[in-house]
A = this chain, B = another copy of it.
């Protein structure tokens, strides 16, 4: 196992009806800006529950944070916070709203051009407004970590920043809030969480015995319950475990002390930035092909996954590893999440621009051993057509 430091101070408040706990958890005198995405938080009644729980606290709402939140939109929220003197932010929505709120929290007190927060990957963040989240869409894990991804419309860029100052103070996870999600979003969330775990697990055997078991536990849960969330859309027990699984998939625990391969996200981000494909759907396109191209590097862990998660006990290590890739592809497809670019009417003609963007963003040595060249990324995209 590698040396590591693990610290996650976010408080999780989990269960049906827990939005009412906001009254206990938000500081009594806070002046609150609520940040939301589209109209669904209003339509489903979640926003009025939130406002009611805030009681006599001064609050206002900033609406319109997009999926893949943009710098341009978030800077409008920053202006509203500064002009209105808000001192507590409350994200109500999914990962995009939470990610966007993290950026706003860091940008409000930031001296200089806030885009530099992203260019510097968060290094320059010296302060952030306190904020919390009411999660309505389990997927990204943003509700219990200190990372955020923001896109810039004007340039087509999509960049990450992280800072220990942008852990949510608390996050309310009410699984009943996920029952009204469209099936496409449910499936996207399951795939996103699955790939988060994969990126911390599907590397090489590194002596992280507990980390491996925990990762396999979440992967098993997602593969067992994911299809049931779609076939039994009213099953709250299923939704509750999926929600908690998605949070634990990226709260720092699985990755502590083991290698990490973020290549699937890096390539996927460019596909979203250039072609507007849903974040999770880009991951489902990239991962199976990446596992084919990087087969030798990942063979031992693929075989371990096959044995422990897919219960493939027969065959050589290579055969079981092949079975693992087939099983992953089949899992995504069963959730109605395509694993080929052709499903988005995209062909080989898109590859050069993706590679150009990867190069521009310094993504020329990806993977847990920093040995995934641009040529390998080309092969991955070729295999994903």
CA distance A240 to B221 in the complex (A): 26
Neighbour of A9 across the interface among B9, B214, B245, CB < 8 A = B9
B241 pairs with A1, CB closer than 8 A: yes
Provide the A210-227 mask, 1 if CB < 8 A to any CB of B, else 0. Answer: 100110111011001100
Contact at A241–B5, with CB atoms within 8 Å? no
The answer to whether B240 touches A1 (Cβ under 8 A) is yes
Closest beta carbon of chain B to A306's beta carbon, Å: 16
Contact across chains for B218 and A213 when beta carbons are under 8 A apart = yes
**Contact indicator A14/B245 (Cβ below 8 Å):** no
A225 lies within 8 A of B240 (CB): no
> Are B256 and A207 in contact (CB-based, < 8 A)?
no
Also in contact, A241 and B3, with CB within 8 A (given A217-B213, A217-B217): no
Q: Which residues of A contact B (CB under 8 A)?
A: 1-16, 18, 170, 175, 207-210, 213-214, 216-218, 220-221, 224-225, 237, 240-241, 244-245, 248, 253, 256-257
Measured in the bound complex, the distance between the Cα atoms of B2 and A1 in whole Å is 33
Q: Does A210 lie within 8 Å of B14, measured CB to CB?
A: no
Cα of A1 to Cα of B257 in the assembled complex, Å: 29
Complex contact B209–A224 (CB within 8 A): yes
- Contacting pair A5 B1 (CB below 8 A): no
Residues in chain B near residue A2, CB distance under 8 A: 15
Question: Knowing that A7-B9, A208-B241 are A-B contacts, what are 19 other residue pairs whose CB atoms are under 8 Å apart, sorted by A's residue number?
Answer: A1-B14, A3-B18, A4-B14, A5-B13, A7-B10, A14-B256, A14-B257, A207-B237, A207-B240, A207-B241, A209-B241, A209-B245, A210-B218, A210-B245, A213-B214, A213-B220, A214-B214, A216-B217, A244-B257
Nearest Cβ on chain B to A12's Cβ, whole angstroms: 4
**How many angstroms from the CA of A281 to the CA of B10 in the assembled complex?**
36
Contact A237 B14 (CB under 8 A): no
A245 to chain B: closest residue by CB: B210
Most B-side CB within 10 Å, residue of A6, A7, A220, A221: A6
Q: Which residues of B contact A7 (CB under 8 A)?
A: 9-12, 170
Residues of B near A210 (CB, < 8 A) are: 217-218, 221, 241, 244-245, 248
Name the distance in Å between A166's Cβ and chain B's nearest Cβ.
Answer: 16
Residue of B nearest to A248 (CB): B210
Which of B4, B15, B225 has a CB less than 8 Å from the CB of A209?
B225
Query: How far does the alpha carbon of A15 sit from the alpha carbon of B175 in the complex, in Å?
Result: 37
Alpha-carbon distance A241/B241, docked complex (angstroms): 26
Instruction: Write the nearest CB–CB distance from A52 to chain B, whole angstroms.
Output: 19
Name A215's closest neighbour in chain B (CB-CB): B217
Report B-chain residues with C-beta under 8 Å of the C-beta of A175. Answer: 1
A208: chain B residues within 8 A (beta carbon): 241
* Across-interface contacts of A248 in B (CB, < 8 A): 210
| CB–CB A244/B1 < 8 A | yes
A314-B207 Cα distance, complex, nearest whole Å: 31
A5 to B171, CA, bound (A): 10
